[in-house]
Amino acid sequence: MQDDQDDEDHGWLYSSTEHPLSQISRYASNSRADDWFSTPLKPRKSLFTGVLGNGLKYVILPHQYPPLNIEATLEVNVGSLAEDEEEQGIAHFLEHMVFMGTEKYPTPDDARKKLAEWGMSFGGDANASTDFDRTRYDLHVPLSQDPSLHSKEITNMLDVLKEFAFKATIPATVVESERRVVLSEFQIFQTPEYRCMYHSYQQMHGNDRICKRFPTGKEEHVKKITQEDLMRFYKRHYRPDNVTLYICGAFDAKTMIECIHHVYDKIERPTEEYRCTPIITLQPSSSLIHLFQHDSITKFSLQLNLRQKNLPITTLNDIRDDLILSALGMAFENRIYTIKESLSNPPFTEISWNYYQSISENCLQTELSVTAHPEQWKEAVGIFFTEFLRLALHGLTEEEMKEQLGVVLKDSHALAEQNDTQPSSELIAELSDNWCNGNINVNRRQEYKYQMMIAHTITLDQVNKRAKELFTFFSTCMDREVQEEPFISIFVAAPLATRPLQHTKVDKPLKPIPKKISAETSLNTPPEVTSRDVTKTHSRQPARLRQSRALLAPGSPQLQRTVAFKITKEEVMEIARKAIIDVPAQSVEVAPMELISPSTMEEKMQRYQPHWIAPIVKPCTFDYFGPPSTLGGEEKDLTFTSREGIQLKRLSNGIRLNMKKTQFDARWVTLKVVCRGGRSQEEKKNRGACHQGLHTLMTGGAAGKSSEELGKYMNFHGIYIDSSVSLEFVTMEMSFSVSHDGTQRALQLLHVMFTEPNFDVKAFLRSQKIYASRLEDLETDVEHISYNNMLQSLLLDEGGDSNLNFCQIAREDYEAMTLEVAREYILNQLTTDNMEVIVVGDYEDNMEESLLRYLGTIPPSESKVEKRSRIPLDFAKEEVIKTECVVDEEERGHTYIGFPSINRWSVVPHHMKSELPLSGQPSYYVRILSVLCRLIENRLYSEVREKRGLTYDISCAHILYEFYDGGIFYISSMTSVDGFEVLKKEIFGIVEQIKRSGFTQSEFDEVMSPLVQALRTSLSTNSFWISMMHHLQREENPKNLDCTENVVQFYEKITLKDVDYAIQYHLPTQPSVSSFACTALPDEMEEDI
């Protein structure tokens, strides 16, 4: 059953070649008097709601995508707002404890095994979250191929949720270990972003309870909560009349409702009346402006907030208002983008406007925000206030309004076309939010139809009147000492010290402090081994480490920020007032409709005579599932088509194309360009050249069009493009709708970027500033610091020093880069003979013709990238422990433990080939390692988190290089300063135990069933096939069509014997790098360093 039944017909969908605005007149007859806009919206017919006799409510929506999957959420209408003063944090603590044991599943292991039988992973497909006003328990449930089993599977799903909501035992034996987990989770919230949010809530919500009851609670209260407290809170709030069940997915509504009654009807409703959670009401902000400064903050930011009464979306008038606001938002973003792209040194990093319904805060939120480098805050604030006031005073132009309405309608149409393939995971979130807000729940087709009915009635006066209503609130409060609008607040966040924008030469870092490692510290390092790069944090394990700046080298980023940053609230208000004086109107350019004229393209077609040549089809020999892929495919008209429908083609200029037509996202296509090279091509003196070269190419304009014009072109035609540089590749990924000539528009853009790029100096200077800004953001990110230190210590160059190509690029490298060098590096990789293009999606029949026309006419070019299939890689020869500390009064810590491992194609020194049946397939080793990683992660999670409570989160993964002779296996975990050594010892002990004894069949089954089910679901996504189709025509890469076929069947055939082989030969335990980064206060307990 699809949502098609919610629409009378699909005739209202305009022609794919026509622009939305040209179709608006179709609905002119719907124009009525003003009361017509009060017409209620019609809810989708496929939505079913009900209330059981015990008060439990359900909201269900049958939806067939992805097939054989259901998303279910049981929402208990209680969160942190319901907590008493001494209970702060109990709702979140309880959410954790619910997973620790129920009547039917006494331990997490019991629940994990049962979920695995049903193809679900514990923590992945079963999870939970706590908010101010609700606690959610989520399940992602796969269904079997046999429909006769669905009723039983649905019953199992509902029964698990029932156990969570009404049958939790809150076992006293695990309260303490889980308390440690909950307390460790506080680290997540000790970030600059969370601190700013916390302080902005205190100001914005005044005396409202919401700013006194954050879901995390308070550490001092969490430490005192008992098992009896948890059980009392559970019994008080977890009751059927306080629960709502949301379900969306591939099911029959009648069957689902019957199963809901069967499972939940017997749950008794308590006799005492329920005491409801306090409702959040609009309270005046505590002050008009609040200034918050902190050492961990690196940027200046200002946020204007306006809170208004939350009104549900129920009528045509609400749709009209939403349409107007969307057009205004698009126009505002375009204006800001134009300003930013026109400057070589824009004073602001970002200016944004958000308008949304906030469920947790029970209000309509209007947020205007600006971020900037601290030294440029005055210019940034000036532009910020000037531009939103310009919109308030002068509004949009007629052309601007039409353009932005067209963009909104085009985006809406693209979503309407994908109505039936919207993932259920997205739908269930919308379902819950709409239900809580009281919105009429409509599907994407209905929403687009309503917008088309209304669009012709919208006038420029209405749009500009709405802009004035929204923005003059802010400008008015600037002119008055007394705040007249009580629900407006201005929140300013700034650092205490900052680094000057100009390049600062840093001193030589301190030499590492050598220290022996004891056998207790590492289970696989003899006592006589000395670490190569040790900076030991402390020796006596005090209750709380207060770190000295001695651990911070003179050249470290935190010590470079020595310029005190001074700012006052009065200064901010004065700058704002000056910015809103005499703001004139400003003309706005419209988006270009095309980038290349038809005559120009015809001339190029005649000049280059593009044509197809034979593709590169690599030999396939893997015959475990039948004839090899090359024998099962079909070659016709210079195209090789595999059994999976993958087409291999090659253009006469050398560009290779791997294509697959799907219908997972209706009329939507993703095109990805992959070129070998990346950072591996950079010399030491030119680190960062690829990043800056690619960024300049992407933002410098092309074909005589400025960056601003190309931005408007992409916005108007709904083209989304992203680019990235990795160690080994440069990639560009473009997504677009094929409707209204979308394919031609997107390929025109790609063509001009490759044939007529503009390496603009202003764009290059912007890129330098952007990357320097990103580095500043990472200075206090302990997870990033720990990860980068692991790479620096584990991967070495020929001289035994850190291999800098694998490590974070330094600020001075970006600042020393020149435009000429960056341009040369990137253009040397973006050549036709080095370019592989993957096209996946619901493309039209003329796609091949369009690719021939726009990609085939790119002039042939040759790359200087060395096409070696194997590149030597040197690893550390002995164990390394590396620590680093950043200054902060709140404790955070993160550790990475890394080991040398194999690359994606199992290249290792002294490699021993497996004789197991599946090992002849090129992807065999990486797939076995993916299973092994999940097994190790499950063991670590069970032993380290659930049983010992040593950390909130722990994971493991492989970094698999394509061409380097090796890779990295790492384990990552949050930890405290005091807990680092204990956690490290525990991890090494578990890895050694796995190396000795492997895994049980039960553990193997717990991993494989959810993994196979997840793969089945992935087969119905474009992203899966894009990842599968990389490198199919790259000769030096072992990947072939065998790797794209029988993927699910391959994993189903993996046995524990395959995993044992991987453990024996590919699970390293030495040498290792243990990298730990933490925060601490300066100038205290130096004797402990």
Q: Flag whether pLDDT at 640 surpasses 70.
A: yes
Residue that is last in its domain, among 461, 477, 494:
494
Which of 75-89, 605-619, 868-882 shows the lowest mean pLDDT across its residues? 868-882
Residue 268 to residues 233, 235, 240, 265, 836, Cα–Cα distance (Å): 18, 12, 8, 8, 62
Beta carbons within 8 Å of 257's beta carbon, 6+ residues apart? 48, 50, 58, 60
E strands in 416-554: 488-495, 497-498
Where is the domain boundary, 453, 473, 494?
494
Beta carbons of 299 and 349 less than 8 angstroms apart: yes
Nearby residues of 372 by Cβ (< 8 Å), 6 or more positions away: 299, 300, 301, 347, 348, 349, 379, 380, 381
Cα 459 vs. chain centroid, distance in angstroms? 38
Looking at the domain assignment, is residue 908 inside a domain? yes
Same domain, 246 and 336: no
59 beta partners: 49, 246
Contact criterion met (CB below 8 Å) for 793 and 802: yes
Residue position matching structure tokens 């995390």:
216
pLDDT at 31: 47
Share of the chain above pLDDT 90, in %: 68
Residue 508 domain-assigned?
Answer: no
Going by the DSSP 8-state scheme, the letter that residue 315 receives in this structure is: B
**Are residues 913 and 994 both part of a single domain?**
yes
Pairwise CA distance, residues 1019 & 571, whole Å: 57
Amino acid letter, 1040: N
Domain membership of residue 537 (yes or no) is no
Contact at 8 Å (CB) between 465 and 321? no
Pairing of strands 497-498, 647-651: unpaired
User: What is the pLDDT confidence band of residue 511, given thresholds at 50, 70 and 90?
Assistant: very low
Give the model's pLDDT for residue 28: 43
* Structure tokens, 452: 């088309």
Query: At residue 9, does pLDDT exceed 80?
Result: no
Instruction: Report DSSP state, residue 78.
Output: -
Query: What value, to the nearest 5°, has the Cα angle with vertex 987 and ends 981 and 991?
Result: 145
Residues 75 and 216 occupy one common structural domain: yes
Whether 163 is in a domain gets the answer yes
Q: CA dihedral in degrees (937, 939, 942, 947; nearest 10)? A: -130
Taking all residues of the chain, what is their mean pLDDT, rounded to a whole number?
87
> What is the average pLDDT across 651-666?
97
C-alpha to C-alpha distances, 460 to 437, 489, 819, nearest whole angstrom: 30, 30, 44
What span, in angstroms and rounded, lies between the C-alpha atoms of 654 and 816?
A: 35
Sheet of 893-901, strands arranged across: 880-887, 1073-1080, 893-901, 967-974, 954-960
Does 523 map to a domain?
Answer: no
**Pair 187, 226 in one domain:** yes
Q: What is the DSSP string of 337-401?
A: HHHHHT-SS-SEEEEEEEEEEETTTTEEEEEEEEEE-GGGHHHHHHHHHHHHHHHHHH---HHHH
Summarised one tens digit per residue, pLDDT across range 728-738 is 999 999 999 99
How far is Cα 123 from Cα 938, in angstroms, rounded to an integer?
Answer: 10
Report whether 86 contacts 272 (CB < 8 A): no
On whether both 215 and 338 belong to a single domain, the answer is no
Q: Is the pLDDT of residue 977 over 80?
A: yes
In percent, the amount of the chain with pLDDT more than 70 equals 88
Count of CB atoms situated within 10 Å of the CB of 269: 15
Query: Which pair of tokens denotes residue 444?
Result: 């994407």
Residue 672, pLDDT score: 98
For the residues 923-929, what does the mean pLDDT come to? 91
C-alpha 365/C-alpha 307 separation (Å) is 5
Q: Based on the number of CB atoms within 10 Å of its own CB, is 85 exposed (0-12), middle (13-18) or buried (19 or more)?
A: exposed
pLDDT at residue 866 in the model: 86
Does residue 392 share a domain with residue 341? yes
pLDDT of residue 556: 47
What's the token pair of residue 1079?
A: 């925060």
What distance, in Å, lies between the first and last C-alpha atoms of the chain?
66
- Looking at residue 960, which CATH number applies to its domain? 3.30.830.10
pLDDT score of 542 more than 50: no
316-341 helix and 377-394 helix, angle to the nearest 10 degrees:
140
Q: Identify the pLDDT of residue 1086.
A: 38
Handedness of CA 709, 715, 716, 720 (dihedral sign): positive
Of the candidates 1016, 1021, 1048, 1047, the one whose C-alpha atom is nearest the C-alpha of residue 68 is 1016
Gap between the Cα atoms of 611 and 852, Å rounded: 7
Confidence of residue 581 (pLDDT cuts 50, 70, 90): confident
Q: How confident is the model at residue 559 (pLDDT cuts 50, 70, 90)?
A: very low
CA 251 – CA 268 distance, rounded (Å): 27
Pairing status of strand 729-737 against strand 835-841: unpaired
What DSSP letter does each residue of 573-609 carry, written as one string? Answer: HHHHHHHTSS------PPPPS-SS-HHHHHHHHHHH-
pLDDT digits (tens, 9 = 90+) for 872-909: 889 998 999 999 988 877 788 999 999 999 899 876 54
pLDDT digits (tens, 9 = 90+) for 379-438: 999 999 999 999 999 999 999 999 999 999 999 999 999 999 999 999 999 999 999 999
- For residue 469, give every residue at least 6 positions away whose Cβ sits within 8 Å of its Cβ, in sequence order, or none: none
State which of 800, 821, 854 marks the end of a domain: 854
Give the pair of three-digit tokens for residue 344: 């070589």
Contact status, residue 1072 vs residue 897, Cβ threshold 8 Å: yes
The answer to whether residues 81 and 25 belong to one domain is: no
Does the residue 703 lie in any domain? yes
Parallel, antiparallel, or unpaired: how do β-strands 720-725 and 729-737 relate? antiparallel
Token couple for 638: 């210079």
* Over residues 528-532, mean pLDDT: 29
DSSP-derived pairing of the beta strands 835-841 and 656-661: parallel
Report which residue type is found at 155. T
Together in a domain, 58 and 105 = yes
Give bridge partners of residue 353 from the DSSP assignment. Answer: 368
Distance (Å, rounded) from C-alpha 160 to C-alpha 158?
5
Residue 206 lies in a domain: yes
% helix, strand, coil for the chain, step of 5: 45, 20, 40
In-domain check, residue 620: no
Mean pLDDT of all residues in 985-1014 = 95
The total number of residues shown for the chain amounts to 1089
Q: How many CB atoms lie within 10 A of CB 794?
A: 25
Residues 873, 961 contacting (CB under 8 angstroms): yes
Can you tell me the distance from the alpha carbon of 895 to that of 525, in angstroms, rounded to the nearest whole number? Answer: 18
**Centroid of chain to Cα 1002:** 33
Given a contact cutoff of 8 angstroms between Cβ atoms, the answer to whether 846 and 686 are in contact is no
pLDDT tens across 56-70, in order?
A: 999 999 999 999 999
* Domain total in the chain: 4
Work out the pLDDT band at 723, boundaries 50, 70, 90.
very high
- Whether residue 647 contacts residue 825, with contact meaning beta carbons closer than 8 Å, is answered with no
* Closest to 247 in 3D by CA, of 162, 168, 117, 158: 158
Give the E-state strand segments of 805-901 in sequence order: 835-841, 874-875, 880-887, 893-901
Same domain, 183 and 292: no
Co-location of 735 and 670 in the same domain: yes
Residue 283: enclosing H or E segment and its boundaries? none
What φ, ψ does residue 278 adopt, rounded to 5°? -55, 135
Structural domain boundaries enclosing 184: 48-264
Q: Is residue 305 located within the same domain as residue 450?
A: yes
Q: What is the pLDDT of residue 564?
A: 87
Strand segments, DSSP code E, in 961-1048 are 967-974
Helix residue ranges per DSSP H, 689-818: 689-699, 707-717, 742-755, 761-778, 782-794, 811-816
pTM of the predicted model, to two decimals?
0.89
What is the pLDDT, as a whole number, of residue 33? 59
CA–CA dist 115, 958 (Å, integer): 26
Which residue intervals of 186-252 are DSSP H helices? 192-204, 219-222, 227-237
Q: Are 644 and 652 in contact (CB under 8 A)?
A: no
Q: Do 253 and 289 belong together in one domain? A: no
**Closest Cα partner for 887 from 497, 342, 525?**
497
